[in-house]
Copies of this chain bind each other. A is one copy, B any other.
Amino acid sequence: MTPFQLNDELLDRIGLLIDGQKNKKLKSLLAELHYADMAEIIDELSLERGVYLIKLVDSEKTSDVLTELDEDVREKILKELSAKEIAGELEELDTDDAADIIGELPEERQERVIAQISDESHAEDIRELLLYDENSAGGLMAKELVKVNENWTVLKCVREMRLQAEEVTRVHSIYVVDEKDKLVGRLSLKDLLNHPTKEPIKNVYIPKVDSVNVDENGEEVAKIMSKYDLEAIPVVDNNGVLMGRITIDDIVDLIKDEADKDYQMAAGISQDVEADDSIYDLTRARLPWLTLGLIGGLGSVFILEGFENIMTHPEFRSLFFFTPLIAAMAGNVGVQSSAIVVQGLANGVIKGSLFNLLVKEIGLSLINGLALSMLILVFGYFVNQPLNVSITIALSMQCVIVVAALVGTFVPIVLNKRGIDPAIATGPFITTSNDIFGIFLFFYIAKLILGF
Contact = CB atoms under 8 A, between A and B. Distances in A.
Interface stretch (A50-58, A101-109, A359-367): A359-367
A266 B263 contact: yes
B294 A375 contact: yes
A301 B317 contact: no
Contact of A294 (B273, B289, B304, B329): B329
| Secondary structure type dominating chain A contacts | helix
Contact of A226 (B256, B301, B431): B256
Given A275-B341, A287-B371, A293 B328 contact: yes
Contacts of A1: 210-212, 224
A165 interface: yes
B329 A327 contact: no
Interface stretch (A12-20, A76-84, A147-155, A345-353): A345-353
Interface string A268-281: 11000111100100
A340 interface: yes
A124 interface: no
A132 interface: no
Given A256-B255, A268-B336, A332-B431, A324 B297 contact: yes
A3 B349 contact: no
Contact of A439 (B220, B324, B367, B428): B324
A291 B372 contact: yes
A420 interface: no
A49 interface: no
Given A263-B339, A275-B357, A439-B324, A428 B350 contact: no
B327 A324 contact: yes
A252 interface: yes
B367 A283 contact: yes
Interface residues of A, number: 108
Interface in A143-175: 162, 165, 170
A331 B329 contact: no
A286 interface: yes
Contacts of A368: 283, 286-287, 290
Contact of A279 (B287, B304, B328, B367): B367
Interface of A: 1, 3, 6, 34, 36, 44, 162, 165, 170, 190, 193, 210-212, 220, 223-224, 226-229, 231, 248-249, 251-253, 255-256, 259-260, 262-264, 266-269, 273-276, 279, 282-283, 286-287, 289-291, 293-298, 300-301, 304-305, 308, 311, 317-318, 320-329, 331-333, 335-336, 338-341, 343-344, 347, 349-352, 357, 360, 363-364, 367-368, 371-372, 375-376, 379, 426-428, 431-432, 435, 439
Given A263-B263, A276-B352, 17 more contacts: A44-B351, A231-B231, A263-B343, A266-B339, A268-B336, A275-B357, A276-B344, A283-B368, A287-B368, A289-B336, A294-B375, A294-B376, A296-B328, A297-B322, A297-B325, A311-B320, A328-B435
21 contacts: A1-B211, A36-B229, A226-B249, A255-B255, A255-B259, A256-B259, A268-B335, A274-B344, A275-B340, A276-B349, A282-B340, A286-B368, A287-B372, A290-B372, A293-B328, A294-B329, A298-B379, A300-B325, A301-B325, A304-B320, A331-B431
